[in-house]
Structure 1
Amino acid sequence: MPNGSRRTGTALTERQKIAWLRLIRSDNVGPATFRDLVNHFGSAEAALDALPELSRRGGAGRTTRIASVDDAERELEAAHRFGAVFVGIGEPGYPPALTEIDGAPPLIAVKGDLEAASRPALGIVGSRNASISGAKFAAMIAREAGAAGYVVSSGLARGIDTAAHRASLQTGTIAALAGGLDRPYPPENVGLLQEITSGAGLAISEMPFGWEPRARDFPRRNRLIAGVSLGVVVIEAASRSGSLITARYAADFGRWSSLSRARHSIRVATGRTTS
């Protein structure tokens, strides 16, 4: 049985959150660069002040675009209108397992039940063209995980992801998105996402509001799934599928993974062993 929920951390002030959002939305600033800048300069505001000079020292051929206060405030307002909030790493509501990975996103947009973020999660991913038995197997694992106190994390895709989310609507599920929270993919799962965020589940994304997901954004979504999860179950995945990218991320993060062709029942593991 997993430990109880954790809601620890210190909340950012509104001013700090705007500065964090400006910094992560500025050109050439990813999670690792964000961390290095804040560690070096002491705050996101100080890092923003230093960016123009750093850009000149780096020999940039053009001025680095720095997200403005207006840009950040507009995105915060878009989140508010959508019923979402931004949660920073270290704040209550930021998934504890995600804080442990290298290059964790400093800010994620979330919508739904924040309690889901604080509970231990099991990732379930797999084929978009799942067989009937594969979908049933995913649903069975999701129900067993929910009964054992786990939230089920997945990527809102067709097939296995959809089956896992639907089977865990009552016990808790996390949907990681490749685009902005207001740009879910695929379109036929918009209703499912609404069920998730209006119940015991949560939608999360590190992408800006209004961001239409592109092919290269889905590995980042897969990284989120692995990051929030203590382990990942992969069902009926093709040899070059995004689901196996999720499994590789899980291995990189020291989490356990299990591959299945949906022919055998398994018990939900609580340790970090690979099978």
Structure 2
Amino acid sequence: MSQPPRDLFAQASGAIRLTDSQRLDWLRLARSENVGPRTFRDLLNFYGGAASALEALPQLAARGGKANIRVASRADAEREMALAMRAGVKLVALGEPDYPDLLRRIASPPPIIGIKGDLSVLNRPMIGIVGSRNASIPGLKMAALLARGLGDLGYITVSGLARGIDAAAHQASLSTGTIAVLAGGQDRIYPAENEPLLARILETGIAISEMPMGHDPRAKDFPRRNRLIAGLGLGVVVVEAADKSGSLITARMALDENREVFAVPGSPLDPRAAGTNRLIKAGATLVTEATDVVEVLQPLLERAPDTGGASEEDREAIDLDGPGEDARSRIVSLLGPVPAELDDIVRSSGLTVATVRVVLLELDLAGRLIRDPAGRVSLA
């Protein structure tokens, strides 16, 4: 069976409106084993809908080398939807009207996000503010000064509800609106000490999470949260960051998504400023007040948005019944522990883009593939 896929997500935000039944299928697919954001997107584009993709999961995983893949049950999805409804959380699918437009444009947007609070803040420009958990007093004051100033200039601040800089930024922008991006489920707040702050945030702003209700945040969930902070706004301001800190990861993710990166300079004697000073040396915009940020972002707001579009490879016919074993073996033999670009795999294998993409999808579902933030792949 062959069909030319179309990129269902390469269209203007708000073009997709799911029925209750479709939302349940999307939730099941998103919660199934080894289905990350990019795999979810490929599955929907290949099969045209979540229901058909769910039916195909076992066969695809088996062809990739995994005999039994866990497919989320209808009962589990219904239970999550009920929990979300009781908690006042709206489950929004990628491309629906309430899905943040800039977040939709990142390389791996979550298929479904839970949003709680005043959704009107999503209609205003956003800017991330991140920094050290173990922040200095000057750092906390600077975060508050920037957040308050940006809020007064019409911007919504985005941060991760962590201790230190995040909490200071949220606190200072309560009156103008702020967005807390959670690493766990909407009912699993970390750190617990910031639950009262979150309650105040929800009065004028929102909390966003891509994780299921009841999900306790783990170490690997924080980088996933950081990509949402980077993706929601036009840019990210780093107030304090030591070398190898999570804030620098957020800055790198922002750069990967062609967003602006700003940094507050600090004393060379303070290790909490080592990361921010290095960002400035690397070309980040030096910030000492809110207007420094706005002067860079204002021209971006005046540009016409890019609505995207399907590439030539998206229009190639796809053999959903599976490539031959020879093609699959050829692709696997080219992969290794070093990440490879899709174009290089196509060139070296002599196969079509469509064939390579299906094999990579099979390996991904079987848990044999690793995708890096740049979209390159390697064998697990």
Aligned residue for 2:261?
A: 257
Of the three residues 192, 200, 205, the one matched with 1:201 is 205
In the alignment, the residues of structure 2 paired with residue 93 and residue 70 of structure 1 have an alpha-carbon distance, to the nearest angstrom, of 26
Q: Is the 8 A contact 2:180 2:207 kept in 1?
A: yes
Alignment of 1:236-275 (within 5 A): 236-261=240-265, 265-266=288-289, 267=291, 268-269=293-294, 270=297, 271=299
Amino acid at match of 2:38: A
Q: Deviations over 1:26-54 (max 9, x none)?
A: 00100000000000000011100111111
Aligned residue for 1:137?
A: 142
Aligned residue for 1:45?
A: 51
Unaligned runs of 5+ in 1: 1-5
Alignment of 1:90-101 (within 5 A): 90-101=95-106
User: Cα distance, 1:10 vs. partner?
Assistant: 3.7
In the alignment, the residues of structure 1 paired with residue 31 and residue 161 of structure 2 have an alpha-carbon distance, to the nearest angstrom, of 25
Aligned residue for 1:69?
A: 74
Aligned residue for 2:154?
A: 149
Q: Is the 8 A contact 2:264 2:288 kept in 1?
A: no
Residue 215 (str. 1) matches residue 202 (str. 2): no
Other structure's SS at 1:140 match: helix
Of the three residues 171, 174, 181, the one matched with 1:176 is 181
CA RMSD of aligned residues (A): 1.6
Amino acid at match of 2:223: P
TM-score, normalised via structure 1 length: 0.93
Residue 110 (str. 1) matches residue 115 (str. 2): yes
Question: Kindly, what percent of the aligned residue pairs are identical?
Answer: 57
Amino acid at match of 1:226: A
Unaligned runs of 5+ in 2: 1-11, 268-286, 301-380
In the alignment, the residues of structure 2 paired with residue 9 and residue 133 of structure 1 have an alpha-carbon distance, to the nearest angstrom, of 45
Aligned residue for 1:228?
A: 232
Other structure's SS at 2:115 match: strand
Number of positions where the alignment pairs a residue of Structure 1 with one of Structure 2: 265
User: Cα distance, 1:139 vs. partner?
Assistant: 0.8
Residue 166 (str. 1) matches residue 183 (str. 2): no
Q: Deviations over 1:47-91 (max 9, x none)?
A: 00111111222221x410000111100000010111111111111
Amino acid at match of 1:244: L
Other structure's SS at 2:204 match: coil
Aligned residue for 1:11?
A: 17
User: Cα distance, 1:7 vs. partner?
Assistant: 8.1
Q: Is the 8 A contact 2:13 2:95 kept in 1?
A: no
Aligned residue for 1:55?
A: 61
Other structure's SS at 1:115 match: helix
Q: Is the 8 A contact 2:14 2:99 kept in 1?
A: no
In the alignment, the residues of structure 2 paired with residue 159 and residue 215 of structure 1 have an alpha-carbon distance, to the nearest angstrom, of 18
In the alignment, the residues of structure 1 paired with residue 156 and residue 190 of structure 2 have an alpha-carbon distance, to the nearest angstrom, of 21
Rg bigger for which structure? 2
